[in-house]
Structure 1
């Protein structure tokens, strides 16, 4: 049997080049409700994975936990086992006042405000998604919010409000913690990548309330979560 990847416990036996990554291991269970022929694969640390089918396409779904470092490890190990297309389905905080709860935010590029990607490439290197996957997103979700998002490293720094106001003024539409790592590492490893985010916090809203409401299944955010997962499945099975 082929040796497994050390963190994700994946091997090429997954036999697919399509993957969806999510932050929360619980979201892996939610996406399986939309798929057929589900097989649990592994659960080590934050990396929970299953294999299933959607429209006769074999797709791996795996959680990566919170933040760029764990997402980066996940992307590297997916590449190591032959995955070529990776879509992140996660949550975001809106950076503009007209973006409602549960609306989908799709990154056309990322402000790399994280520490990990600077270890790969200089700051001037852009973080951009796959044109192929982005085009398919526009096909299936023409009414989603498209624009530049910002990936950062934490929620509780003293200058967060100041930083968010600055980037909001520059037209950034949403914020997360993993998309920059996905897109930068993806480009280095010749992968097709995309990030689909469900808005869980209104701009200048309370972060704790938004995240807790997502956990508790608030209707708008729960609908957005399912819509984002289905969009990823539609794109990968196109």
Structure 2
């Protein structure tokens, strides 16, 4: 076990799906995995390991924001031998053509700062997805007929943002959506020689102010989890 993860050696699969909300990790494990077993509940952060189509998978919460994700991703990669990390979560659309319930697959992630920023000093590192995962996710989304957008997203380090000027520039430069974790995830995967991808469901829209209700979120998130699993284990 580590400081933040109570799993024993061998409890964590090489492929880990990472929702922000630990309760969403529990929901996804119960809905999609065969014989899921809770392998972590330290500090209320839940992780489950089971199988999907015969493939061993862990679904583990990351918490909200890049500092929290950085803790769990570092330990999963460094101490438990994870090789593939896929973020599954919600995102806010920043383009008029991106609609509620649409899927956003993040090719790149812009950010103002991340926990890894101090390592690079004056360098602006460009975090990007693993291409094999991205292509597999795009194919899986097309097979399911889910409206999908692939491109750059913005990983913010604040939820209650008071920079409308920055949001305007993100929209102007084609950023599809905003969330709070993927830039650090992609950076850590690069550092540890692992694969990473963010598959996101649009739950609200920064331009129109529209947002999904609770039940609508659950049904839309199911597509996202299915596509992430299919991307991790393409047939």
TM-score (norm. length: structure 2): 0.91
Q: Give the Å deviation of 1:15.
A: 5.1
Contact 1:25 1:48 in 2 (8 A): yes
In structure 1, how many angstroms separate the alpha carbons of the residues matched to 2:111 and 2:89? 17
Aligned counterpart in structure 2 of residue 17 of structure 1, from 14, 18, 26: 14
Q: Secondary structure of the equivalent of 2:220? A: helix
- Which residue in the other structure is 1:133 paired with? 133
Q: Give the Å deviation of 1:46.
A: 4.9
Contact 1:106 1:146 in 2 (8 A): yes
In structure 2, how many angstroms separate the alpha carbons of the residues matched to 1:15 and 1:110? 27
- Which residue in the other structure is 1:200 paired with? 203
Aligned counterpart in structure 2 of residue 225 of structure 1, from 208, 216, 221: 221
Contact 2:114 2:184 in 1 (8 A): no
Unmatched segments (≥5 aa) in structure 1: none
Q: Does 1:144 align with 2:148?
A: yes
In structure 1, how many angstroms separate the alpha carbons of the residues matched to 2:175 and 2:161? 19
- Per-residue CA distance 1:187-231 (angstroms, 9 max, x = gap): 00111000011101113244xx73xx45x22x2x33321111111
Contact 2:12 2:49 in 1 (8 A): no
Contact 2:94 2:178 in 1 (8 A): yes
Aligned counterpart in structure 1 of residue 57 of structure 2, from 34, 38, 59: 59
Per mean C-alpha deviation after superposition, the further-off stretch among 134-143 and 51-60 is: 134-143
Q: Secondary structure of the equivalent of 1:45? A: helix
Q: Give the Å deviation of 1:119.
A: 2.5
TM-score (norm. length: structure 1): 0.90
Q: Does 1:184 align with 2:184?
A: no
- Which residue in the other structure is 1:124 paired with? 124
Contact 1:68 1:114 in 2 (8 A): no
- Which residue in the other structure is 2:36 paired with? 38
Contact 1:130 1:194 in 2 (8 A): yes
Matched residues, number:
227
Aligned counterpart in structure 2 of residue 168 of structure 1, from 160, 167, 171: 171
Give the 3 Å change call, closer, same or farther, for CA 68–126 of structure 1 in structure 2: same
Q: Give the Å deviation of 1:166.
A: 1.0
Contact 2:93 2:205 in 1 (8 A): yes
Q: Give the Å deviation of 1:232.
A: 1.1
Runs ≥4 in structure 1, deviation > 4 angstroms? none
Give the 3 Å change call, closer, same or farther, for CA 205–120 of structure 1 in structure 2: farther
Q: Secondary structure of the equivalent of 1:145? A: strand
